[in-house]
Each structure stands twice: as C-alpha cells, then as structure tokens.
C-alpha cells in the first residue's frame, strides 16, 4: 500500500474514537502501522529512509495538538526530526480533550457561538430534548448543557441517528461553545463516538410481576414488568416523558423522560422501576382532603429489554364502562388512575386562547372531562378526525387535578375508533333513568320546598329517541308534582311535615317500562344552631388553631360567584364573606338560595407577617338548602366612594368583607396569549382578580362602556394591594347582571 493511500485512510478516520483506524505500509523493509486516536487532520507525512516528517499544521480550529507518540503507553514523544522507525512501530496522533470546566471557561469568552470547536469527553446526565439532541453532560470537573447534537459528520440531527447515546453513556463531542443568557453552553455537538454504560442497578432487587400485581404493591416497591407501549405522553415541547404500558392483565403509567424517547408505541419492553403514586406538591393538601392517593405509576426506571417491534396492546382484560361511571368513581374507595376502560364517548374539540382542549363526553353529551395535555393540546391533534362523533374509546383517568373545590379528572385516550356508533333503542328507558333522572334524587333530605324541576318528556336526536315519558308519584301528600310550561314538572315539598316519603318514577318508551323508587326525608331546622355572617367574620381563625374545634355553622343567602376560586359570597342583611367549597357542593346551590353551611373561618394568606389577606370560610359544606330565589341584600354596600378610593385601600386592613358601588368604564386588555379586564375612571386603572377575561364573560358586551358596578375587594395571594371581584353590573335601566361564573 502506498503511503499517500495510507494518509487518505487516516484523514477519513478523523472521527474514529476508541475504535482506532490502522493501516500497514512497507518502508525499507519495515512494517509501519499508523494509528489515529481522537481524530486529526494530517496534511502530510513523508517517509524517507525510515524517517517520518510530522504534519505541517499540527492544529485544528483552535484545538490543541497533543503530539505524536509511539508505544501503547503514549509516554514517549516521537521525535519526527531525529527518530528512525525500526521494526514494527505504532505511531499515535493525539488531540487534546478539554474538561467540562475548561469548556465552561472557554464559553465565557464567547457571547456568540465560537468558530473554534473543541473535543470533550463526558457522561450524559440527561437527554433534555430527544428531537434536537439537547442534553446535559458532566465529568469530574462540572456540568454543562448541550444545545443540540448531530452525527459525526455534523449533518444528521440526533433524532435521525440509527444509534444514539442516552443518559448514562460516555460520549465524545466535537463542539462549539458560547454563553447564552449568562450561562455557558455547548451550542452544537457532533457525536464523534459514544460508549454504552451498563446501568448501575441489580436486577435481582426487582420483583418480576404482572402489571396488575405491580399496581397493588406498596409505594417504593421495586418492580419488574413487561408489556406493550400503548401511548406516549409529552411535555410542553412535545418531547416524550412517559408512556402507558399494557400487558394482558392491566395497564400502568411509566414516567421517565430518559426512557420514553427510547421507545415507540407498539414496542414490547421490560421495565425495572419503583412503584409510585404521584401528586403535584402544591396539590397535596387538596388531594388529602378528598382521599386521593395520586396517579398510580412506575418511576425511576431502567429499560431492561426492547424488541423494537410493532404489537397491538392486549384488550381482552379491559372492562366496558361509561364516561359517567369513570368520572363518578369515588377515588377514596377505588383509585382507577392509569387503568384503561372501553367506553362510547363523544369527542369534542374546544379551541381556546393559545390552546385547544379535547373533551370526551358520555352519550348524554353533557357528562365529561378533558384530556391532560402539557403541550396546549398539540399532542392530541390526531383526535380532530373524530370531532363531533360518538366513538369507541379506550380511555383512562391519567390523574386528577386536586383543588380545594374538588378533584378534576384528566383523561388520556389510548385509542379511538370510529365504528359508526348506533344507540340500542332497547336501552332507552335505562339510559333516561341514568342520564336524565337519577341525578335529581342525589339529595335525599329536604328542609324546604326545592321547587325541583324534573323532566317529564325526554328527547335525544343524537341517540335517536324522542317522546320518552317520565311520570312521578309520591306515597304521601307532603310531596306533590306540578306540571311546568315545558316538558317538565316541579316537585314541591311541605316542609312542615317531618317524615319519609317514597317517590316512584316510571319511564315508558314504546313497549319499554322502567320503575325506580327513591326515599326522601323531610327534615326539621330545629336540629341546627347557626350564626350570622357578621358572627362568622369575627369567629376564631382555623389556621391559627388547627387542632381546636373551630367549625362554624352559618346561615345566609348564596350571593355572586368568586372568581378564580371555587365558591361564592355568603350574604345576609349585615355583611358578606367569601366561601370556598368543592364542585359537588356548588352543584347543589344557585344564586339566591338561602343556605345553612358549615366550615372553618380562615384568613387566606401564606405569610401572616405581611398583609391582612382574605377573610373567608373554607371547606364549606351545605347542610341545608332552603332555596327561595331570594334577592341579594345590598343595604350595607358602600356608595359614597370612587375607583380611586378602591385603588388606595390599605392591604394591612381588612376590606375583603366590604362591597363598593362605583362607576367606571370596562377596559379589555388583550395580547397573544392572555386577556384580562380592568376598570377605568379618569387616570385611575383598577385591575380585577382573574385568570383571564373569559371568567368575566358577562362584562364583555359592555367593553368601553361606562357602567355601575358592585365591587368586593379581594386579596388571595398576599399582595400589597387589593384587586376587585365584580358581584354585578347595573345598567342605566336598572337591570342587574350578576356574576354567576361558578354556577354556570
């Protein structure tokens, strides 16, 4: 082989690391082997009588040339000028590797990306974006972020590489550096080579189980499970962070942002991990309140095996259910998170400002919830072809958003099939009972006449039935049924009677008849000892005495809704107080109802040394609903102040139980991702408390108009100022439009 051919081979080997390129050349009877370690640019090597001349340019883009060496120990420099090759000799051309600490120092000199490239060998801590190959690497000297990686030729992105390094692997990068937002960073790393590192765990520590068995294990148990990857989940940047694993016994969520990018839907995998129940830290107290243990999952995982195949996930074990049954499951008794159910569901897309929600409703087109997305719905655009259709859906509750108002189920569709759903008309009477009648009888005790509206005729064009008749009879005259103007009747109760009455519901459709009985108790108010709203305001603080019995029972009228909080203002003729409750309780009351409720008096604030905060009742439960459609009391509203006065309210004083009547112009604030509303009066701009302007939709028709408003100052977040909650606006003709956000 000629020496020039050898040199060409050496140049081609520039990106070979750990696997050394070698060739042979016969020179003056000697066998000469040249090997390149770390990659190099060799312009010329001339062999004359067994002597070797070093490259004329022993540098590459600022990368320090380490020199030529012979012998495997690389300790003896080879003197190109004087040394003579004798016998079989190995020559090494070495380029210096920088440590992470040295690269961090280098990066500090570059506000823009360096033209020079540097070699660095380090361990991958994490793959932060598997599409672009963003990663974090470290060695003994430090840690640095890598903004994107490519193959050894600098052409193919990380995601396009057939073989790619993952967390834990030792990687050699050839990279630019810069400083971004004050932080040193590798801008573009060419993956010259990498070494797979064996995971540092003992498989013997993990118990091999079916997924069904793994679900029942204690938290922190080490489990080994196998199954098919049924659905990936994604973060805000659409990077996979977890997946649903299914075997022929059950399903479970596997959360691991380093493993998820290594698998694809349909792969048969084996995972070693830790059994976990996940709850967002700031939702823990609310979850405890409702007995929610958290999302059942496996975390801190190792990918033991992956066949990289394409398999259907097992479906024979999956229970046929309904969306309504899933959503009504009591999580304190049965945690169904990450369990797949087969349901018929109406798929609906609902675009918002900067996001899209996808909902799954039961066949009543009312009972449902939304898919859980961290990517503003962009990970569920595949559902658009099913919009408006009742489909066969393999669905799960991935987790619950835990709020003081209750648990909001977040759904994850695993698979959706449009099979031309047709409702079985033989199920009509049962469907009417389940979806139109039964919920009206959840309350089994009444202390006043609810004037409860009940359906007498039910139609559903989507399901294909109409004219289903519903009739009601009572075992005692204390309960009567009065026909309404539409297809409904009103259930009236004689509250003076204290007895149990049986109500019989009869549903008929063609030749189908279904009968259901409900027992209703008529109670007495003598069982309750309640106080006024003013007395509630002056009651002992629960947050100051959490171990003491500080529950109060208060009587008042359900006033306008809170905003950005689940609840309402409780009002009487002397005062009002904010009441925080759960969605289930909210569903039992309406604006104007007179109620007796229990709860704890609290000063809603995180830092008791700062501002006064919000006076309120928390954990409220309605004990009695006296109904009544009462007028909202306003005699104590403050009418002689203006917007400037509200703007200057002292946050160290309690103004959260006051209401002010002011005149102002409604101002809509809009940008690309956020909308809000403020009030304008001359030079004063006063902000309302809200998450977005949709929470005040009743104000939007009056934007840029001057109106009269009832404002309750509020401070839920320890601010050094009050913001306003609009109770109602009053138009020039005297019409009042109330804030009914949480009642809608």
Mean pLDDT for 500-512 is 97
Mean pLDDT for 257-266 is 93
The string of pLDDT tens digits covering residues 681-724 is: 999 999 999 999 999 999 999 999 999 999 999 999 889 999 99
Q: What is the DSSP string of 102-156?
A: HHHHHHTT-SS--SS-EEEEEEEEEEEETTTTEEEEEETTEEEEE--EE-TTS-S
Q: What is the CATH number of domain 526-627?
A: 2.40.50.200
Q: How far apart are CA 592 and CA 559, in angstroms?
A: 6
pLDDT more than 90, % of the chain: 65
Secondary structure class of 639 (helix, strand, coil): coil
Band of the pLDDT at 607, cuts 50, 70, 90?
low
75 or 588, higher pLDDT: 588
Q: How confident is the model at residue 339, as a pLDDT? A: 98
Band of the pLDDT at 88, cuts 50, 70, 90?
low
CA angle 659, 663, 669 (to 5 degrees): 95
Q: How confident is the model at residue 21, as a pLDDT? A: 32
Mean pLDDT for 142-159 is 92
The string of pLDDT tens digits covering residues 302-354 is: 999 999 999 999 999 999 999 999 999 999 999 999 999 999 999 999 988 78
Q: Per-residue pLDDT for 81 more than 90?
A: no
Range in 350-354, 358-362, 387-391, 688-692 the model is least confident about:
350-354
Q: Per-residue pLDDT for 76 more than 70?
A: no
Nearest to 224 by CA among 305, 334, 338: 305
Band of the pLDDT at 2, cuts 50, 70, 90?
very low
| Phi-psi category of residue 665: left, alpha or beta, with phi > 0 → left and psi -120 to 50 → alpha | beta
Quick count: other Cβ atoms within 10 Å of Cβ 180?
Answer: 15
Q: Per-residue pLDDT for 39 more than 80?
A: no
pTM: 0.70
Token reading at 392: 């066969």
Q: How confident is the model at residue 45, as a pLDDT? A: 44
Eight-class DSSP state of 3: H
Burial category of 185 from C-beta neighbours within 10 Å (exposed 0-12, middle 13-18, buried 19 and up): buried
Quick count: other Cβ atoms within 10 Å of Cβ 321?
Answer: 17
Q: How many residues are given for the chain? A: 744
Name residues whose C-beta falls within 8 Å of residue 242's C-beta, 6 or more positions apart in sequence. Answer: 232, 233, 253, 254, 255, 256, 257, 260, 297
Eight-class DSSP state of 160: G
Q: Per-residue pLDDT for 30 more than 60?
A: no
Q: Which of 35-44, 67-76, 701-710 has the highest mean pLDDT?
A: 701-710
Q: How far apart are CA 61 and CA 43, in angstroms?
A: 14
Q: How confident is the model at residue 608, as a pLDDT? A: 59
Q: How confident is the model at residue 11, as a pLDDT? A: 33
Q: How confident is the model at residue 12, as a pLDDT? A: 32
Q: What does the domain layout of the chain look like in residue ranges? A: 3-95, 100-195, 198-421, 425-522, 526-627, 643-743
Q: What is the DSSP string of 342-396?
A: EEEEEEEEEE-SS-EEEEEE-TTSSSEEEE--SSTTGGGGGGGGGTT-EEEEEEE
Same fold, 198-421 and 425-522: no
Quick count: other Cβ atoms within 10 Å of Cβ 294?
Answer: 20
Please give the distance of CA 44 from its chain centroid, rounded to a whole number.
59
CATH topology of domain 643-743: OB fold (Dihydrolipoamide Acetyltransferase, E2P) (2.40.50)
Range in 20-34, 110-124, 477-491, 538-552 the model is least confident about:
20-34
Task: Write out 262-320 in H/E/C secondary structure.
Answer: HCCCCCEEEEEEEEEEECCHHHHHHHHHCCCCCEEEEEEEEEEEECCCCCCCCCCCCEE
Mean pLDDT for 181-197 is 89
Q: Which CATH number fits domain 198-421: 2.40.50.200, 2.40.240.10, 2.160.10.10, 3.20.20.140?
A: 2.40.50.200
Query: Has domain 100-195 been given CATH number 2.40.50.140?
Result: yes
* Per-chain mean pLDDT for the chain: 86
SS3 helix, strand, coil % of the chain, rounded to 5?
15, 45, 40
Contact (CB, 8 A) for 197 and 123:
yes
The string of pLDDT tens digits covering residues 536-565 is: 999 988 765 556 667 899 999 999 999 999
Q: Which CATH number fits domain 425-522: 3.90.1140, 2.60.40, 2.30.110, 3.30.70?
A: 2.60.40
């Amino acid at each position: 082989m000629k020496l020039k051919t050898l040199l060409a081979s050496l140049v081609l080997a520039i990106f070979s690391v750990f696997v050394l390129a070698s060739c042979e050349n016969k020179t003056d009877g000697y066998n000469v082997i040249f090997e390149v370690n770390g990659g190099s640019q060799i312009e010329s090597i001339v062999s004359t009588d067994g002597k070797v001349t070093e490259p004329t340019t022993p540098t590459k883009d600022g990368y320090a040339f380490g020199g030529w060496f012979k012998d495997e120990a690389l300790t003896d420099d080879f003197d190109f000028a004087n040394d003579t090759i004798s016998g079989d000799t190995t020559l090494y051309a070495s380029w210096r590797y920088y440590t992470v600490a040295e690269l961090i120092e280098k990066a500090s000199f570059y506000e823009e990306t360096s033209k020079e490239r540097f070699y660095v060998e380090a361990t991958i801590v994490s793959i932060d974006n598997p599409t672009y190959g963003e990663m974090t690497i470290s060695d003994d000297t430090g840690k640095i972020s890598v903004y994107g990686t490519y193959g050894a030729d600098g052409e193919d992105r990380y995601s396009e590489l057939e073989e790619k390094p993952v967390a834990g692997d030792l990687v050699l990068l050839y990279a630019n550096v810069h400083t971004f937002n004050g932080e040193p960073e590798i801008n573009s790393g060419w993956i010259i080579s990498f070494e797979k590192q064996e995971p540092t765990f003992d498989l013997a520590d993990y118990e091999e189980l079916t997924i069904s068995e793994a679900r029942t294990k204690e938290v922190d148990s080490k489990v080994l499970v196998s199954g098919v990857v049924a659905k990936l989940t994604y973060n805000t940047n659409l990077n996979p962070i977890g997946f649903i694993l299914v075997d022929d016994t059950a399903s479970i969520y596997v959360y691991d942002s380093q493993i998820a990018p290594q698998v694809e839907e349909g792969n048969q995998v084996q995972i070693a991990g830790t059994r976990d129940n996940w709850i967002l830290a700031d939702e823990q107290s609310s979850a405890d309140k409702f007995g929610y243990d958290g999302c059942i999952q496996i975390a801190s995982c190792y990918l033991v095996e992956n066949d990289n195949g394409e398999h259907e996930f097992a479906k024979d074990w999956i229970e046929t259910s309904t969306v309504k049954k899933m959503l009504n499951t009591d999580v304190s008794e049965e945690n169904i998170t990450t369990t797949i159910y087969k349901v018929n569901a109406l798929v609906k897309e609902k675009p918002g400002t900067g996001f899209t929600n996808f909902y799954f409703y039961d066949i009543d087109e009312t009972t449902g919830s939304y898919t859980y997305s961290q990517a503003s719905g962009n990970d569920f655009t595949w559902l658009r072809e099913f919009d408006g259709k009742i489909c066969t859906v393999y669905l799960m509750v991935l987790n619950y958003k835990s709020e003081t108002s209750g648990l909001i189920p977040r759904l994850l569709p695993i698979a959706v099939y449009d099979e031309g759903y047709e409702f079985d008309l033989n199920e009509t009477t049962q469907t009417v009972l389940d979806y139109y009648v039964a919920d009206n009888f959840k309350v089994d005790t009444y202390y006043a006449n609810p004037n409860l509206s009940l359906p007498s005729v039910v139609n559903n064009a989507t399901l294909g039935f109409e004219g289903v008749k519903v009739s009601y009879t009572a075992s005692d005259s204390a309960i009567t049924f009065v026909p309404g103007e539409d297809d409904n009747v009103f259930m009236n109760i004689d509250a003076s009677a204290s007895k149990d009455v049986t109500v019989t519901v009869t549903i008929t459709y063609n030749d189908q008849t279904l009968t259901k009985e409900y027992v209703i108790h008529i109670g007495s108010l003598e069982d309750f000892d309640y106080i006024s709203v003013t007395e509630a305001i002056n009651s002992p603080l629960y947050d100051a005495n959490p171990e003491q019995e500080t529950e109060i029972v208060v009587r008042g009228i359900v006033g306008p809704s809170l905003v950005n909080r689940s609840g309402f203002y409780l009002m009487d003729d002397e005062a009002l107080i904010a009441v925080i409750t759960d969605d289930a309780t909210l569903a039992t009351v309406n604006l104007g109802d007179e109620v007796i409720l229990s709860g704890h008096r609290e000063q809603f604030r995180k830092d008791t040394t700062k501002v006064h905060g919000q006076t309120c009742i928390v954990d409220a439960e309605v004990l009695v609903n006296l109904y009544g459609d009462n007028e909202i009391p306003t005699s104590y509203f403050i009418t002689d102040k203006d917007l400037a006065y509200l703007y200057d309210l002292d946050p160290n004083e309690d103004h959260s139980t006051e209401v002010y009547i002011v005149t102002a112009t409604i101002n809509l604030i809009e940008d690309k991702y956020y909308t809000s509303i403020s009030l304008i009066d001359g030079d004063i701009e006063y902000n309302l408390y809200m998450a977005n302007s949709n929470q005040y939709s009743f104000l939007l028709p009056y934007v840029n108009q001057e109106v009269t408003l009832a404002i309750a100052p509020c401070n839920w977040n320890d601010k050094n100022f009050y913001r306003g909650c609009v109770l109602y606006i009053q138009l020039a003709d005297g019409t009042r439009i109330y804030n009914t956000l949480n009642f809608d």
